[in-house]
Homo-oligomer: A and B are copies of this chain.
């Protein structure tokens, strides 16, 4: 992967958004850590960065809350990998957080660009 000119963006703004992004990524099917991080970076066109040190705590946090569940498997590269999948509760959470996100964006935009 080429070195990017962009600065990393997580943490600078957007705390808690990582959870939403992970849930959304898992919405299409189970995946393991590396895949999740790569998918987020790729789909955001390399604007968003996912550091290992943020990813795994987030995954464990989401699992603790019952929004995702995990199982050990073998990756596409024949390596031991922990796969995560969205739970029914997680799917509800994904919907709720998406609505929330949209609401926040609208609210901030009302301030940045008053009618």
Q: Chain A residues in contact with chain B, CB under 8 A?
A: 9, 11-17, 20-21, 24-25, 40, 43-45, 47-48, 98, 100-101, 103-108, 110-112, 114
Contact = CB atoms under 8 A, between A and B. Distances in A.
Contacts of A108: 14, 17, 20-21, 44, 48, 101
B44 A13 contact: no
A56 B21 CA distance: 31
Given A14-B14, A20-B108, 13 more contacts: A9-B103, A9-B104, A11-B16, A12-B16, A13-B14, A13-B15, A13-B17, A14-B16, A14-B104, A43-B110, A48-B107, A48-B108, A101-B108
Q: Is the interface of A mostly helix, strand, loop or mixed?
A: helix
